Chain A
Amino acid sequence: MDWLEDELRRALSRQDPPDGFAERVLARSRPVAFPARRWVAAAAMVVVAAGAAGAWREHRGNQAKQELLLAVRLASVPVHRVQSQIRGISQ
C-alpha cells in the first residue's frame, strides 16, 4: 500500500475526546429533575393560574412552531444543496 496513504491513516486516526466528554454531554442532555413535591406544586399552579385559555394558546403556539420548523426544514434543504454544489465547484 502507498506509504503516504499509510501515514495519512496513522496521522488522521481517531482520537478520544478529552476526559469526561461523555459525562458532560449526558449531564447537559438529561432533563432537569424536579423534586416530586415541586412537581405537584407546579402542576397545581398551572391548573389554577394558567386557565384553559392560556393552555389552549400554548398548545396552538407549539403547533404553529412545529409547522414553522417543518416549513424551514423543507425550504432549507434544497438551498443548502445548491450552496454545497457551488462551493464544491469553486474549490
Chain B
Amino acid sequence: MPIEAVEAGCDFRALVRQHQAMVFSIALHFLRDRASAEEVAQEVFFSLHRNLRQIESPAHAAAWLRKVAVQRSIDEGRRRSRRPQVALEDVAEPAARFTPGDPLLSDLLRRLVATLPEAPRMVMVLRYQEDLEPSEIATVLEMPVATVKSHLQRSLAMLRGKLERRGVGESGWTG
C-alpha cells in the first residue's frame, strides 16, 4: 500500500467497504442487471486499486469512484446495445392503488427509469440515488447544466404521465 495513500486516509479495503453500495447501485440502476452491475463494480474497484497512488483524499476517492462507475456503466450499457423495452403490458399489474413507499411502485419506477435513453437515465440515477445537484451532475457527465435540467424535467414529466394514466399519483394514494 503506497505510503502516500495511507497517509491520505485512502486505505483500499476501507474504500471498498465504504463505497461498494454506491458503485454497485449506480451500475445496477443504470443497467438493471445484477450480474452486470457486480462485474462493472468490480472493474471500478480494480481500476481504483491500480490508480490509488493518485488519489488525494477520501473525498477525492468518493468523487473519483462515482465518476468511473458512471463511465463504466455507460460503456457496459453501450456494449450490451439494448435498452429494456418495458411495454406497459409487460409490467406486472399494479395494485388498484399504491400507498406511498409501496415496493411494487418502486419496482415499477425502476423499470420505467431503465427505459429512458442513456443520458437522461444516468441523470435520474445521479439525481435520485446520489442526491446530486444539476451542476454536480453536469460535471460528472460532462454535459451542460441546461441539458441536465432538461433531461430531469422531461423524464419526470414522462414518468408522471405514465403513472397518472394508471391512476397513480397524489390523488391515487389510499388513506
Contact = CB atoms under 8 A, between A and B. Distances in A.
A–B touching in complex (CB under 8 Å) = yes
A8 B156 CA distance: 10
Contacts of A3: 100, 169-170, 173
B120 A91 contact: yes
A39 B129 CA distance: 47
Contact of A24 (B42, B127, B170, B173): B42
B118 to A, nearest CB: 7
B24 A11 contact: no
A51 interface: no
B113 interface: yes
Main secondary structure on B side of the interface with A: helix
Interface in B109-140: 109-110, 113, 117-120, 124-125, 127-129, 131
Nearest to B13: A26
A15 interface: yes
A25 B159 contact: no
Contact of B20 (A4, A12, A16, A89): A16
Contacts of A28: 42, 46
Contact of B106 (A4, A7, A18, A89): A7
Interface string B153-166: 00010011001000
Interface in A1-45: 3-18, 21-22, 24-26, 28-29
B22 interface: yes
Q: Is the interface of A mostly helix, strand, loop or mixed?
A: helix
Contacts, number: 110
Contacts of A6: 100
Interface residues of B, number: 50
B166 to A, nearest CB: 13
A17 B42 CA distance: 10
Nearest to B151: A91
Contacts of B163: 4
A81 interface: yes
Given A8-B109, A17-B41, A88 B143 contact: yes
B21 A15 contact: yes
Nearest to B138: A88
Contacts of A24: 42
A57 interface: no
B110 A29 contact: no
16 contacts: A4-B163, A8-B113, A11-B105, A13-B129, A16-B20, A17-B20, A17-B38, A21-B24, A22-B16, A24-B42, A29-B49, A84-B143, A88-B142, A88-B144, A88-B147, A91-B117
